[in-house]
Structure formats: structure tokens, C-alpha cells
Copies of this chain bind each other. A is one copy, B any other.
Amino acid sequence: MLAQSIVQTTSSRPVPNHSLTGSIDLIGAPMPFARNAEIYGENEPADYFYKVISGAVRTYKVLSDGRRQIGSFYLPGDVFGLESGPAHTFSAEAISPAKVLVIKRSAVTALAARDSTVAQQLLAITGRELARAQDHLMLLVKTAQERVAGFLLEMADRIAGRNEVELPMSRQDIADYLGLTIETVSRTLTQLEHACTIALPTSRRIELRNRGALHRLNS
């Protein structure tokens, strides 16, 4: 939403005749990515940041022992790839076929220097990313049940359709986000189903039957 207003601001306000601030340069064309296609790699120059139009995206790092840690999931409307340093600190891939708006960082930075509302939006986006990282961090010190419950509540909040959620990501993605194995995620979901806390009409579709119980687990 805030990201949306960055785009709106740049395209709707009268712009001086500098090519950097023209809406074409700033927004670029929405770009399609296939399932599992790389959007950018860790350590690549962070000259662009991105906004999800449709589909879903994951950012991740691979540890030396081959384990993968997912940093975040991004859904339509979310901005990702905005870095404080010169390089991306995670890699990014499309989880499902995705359309992504590619935004030139230098253009927005230049714009922010003159338009304080743009600067405010950049700050707000970064601040929300920080809050999300902190929430994620708190999940990683909990039990498997608490992590899975927290994940389900997060996704239910972020994806429309209050109590029925269609997850875009695989069990492996969930496991790598929560610092668990795929087996533990699967077993925990089964437990929650047996406790009638959730229902699993299909493996990707999850119905929250008892939010209270999930919140209690999430503590």
C-alpha cells in the first residue's frame, strides 16, 4: 500500500523533465518470472528493488552445509529487495509464476531527496520489513508447534479469505522458513488437524478452525 503510493506519487505528480524521474524509467515494465526462476542473487548489486504484482516470492540464503534458510515470503503488494548496502544480502526467487514490478533504486533515492513523502514511504517500507524480521526471529526460538502456529496465523493475516488459506509455498519452503525439517512440519500440521485446530482439504489449502488455539500456541 505504501509501496503503491510510491508508484502513484511518481506517476501522478507533475515531474520535471529529467529522464531519471520519468515514470517509465522509474517503474519499468512489470516483469514475469516462472516458478523457481531467480529474480536476483545474493551479493549482486542492489540497483533495483521490486514490488510483487501477482504470485509469490521467497528470499533465502544457502548455508555452507547446503541448508537453505528462507528470509521472507512476499505476496502481491509487498516490496522486496530494498537494501541498505550496495548489494543484495539474500537471493530472491519466484515461488509461483509471478509478475514483479522492477524499480530503479537510484531514481527513487533521487526522488526521495526532493520529495519528503517518498522518503517517508521508503522509511515505512524498511520499518515494516524490520518488524517482520523481528517477528520471524521470535518464531525461531519456539517449539515446532509454536512455529507452525505462528506461520499459519501470519499467512492467514496476509492472504485474503479469513479462515481458508491457499498457501503458495511447499512444505520444504515452510520448513526452511521455520528452521524445521519437512517431516516435522508435516507431522505438526497433522497433529493440529487431529486436534481440530485446522483442516487440510488439500495439502496446500488450510482452514483455520480454532484461531484461539493457534494464538495460545503462538503465545
Number of contacting residues on A, CB 8 A? 37
Nearest opposing residue in chain B for A130, CB measure = B130
Cα distance A131–B127 in the bound complex, in angstroms? 12
B-side contacts of A138, CB under 8 Å? 61, 63, 69
Q: So how many copies of this chain end up in the complex? A: 2
B130-A123 in contact (CB<8A)? no
A195 CB within 8 Å of chain B: no
Nearest opposing residue in chain B for A126, CB measure = B126
A141 CB within 8 Å of chain B: yes
B-side contacts of A131, CB under 8 Å? 84-85, 89
Q: Taking chain A's interface residues, is the majority helix, strand, or loop, or is none over half, making it mixed? A: helix
B-side contacts of A196, CB under 8 Å? none
A142-B84 in contact (CB<8A)? no
Binding site for B on A (CB under 8 A): 61, 63-65, 67, 69, 71, 83-85, 89-90, 112-114, 116, 119-120, 122-124, 126-131, 133-134, 136-138, 140-142, 179, 219
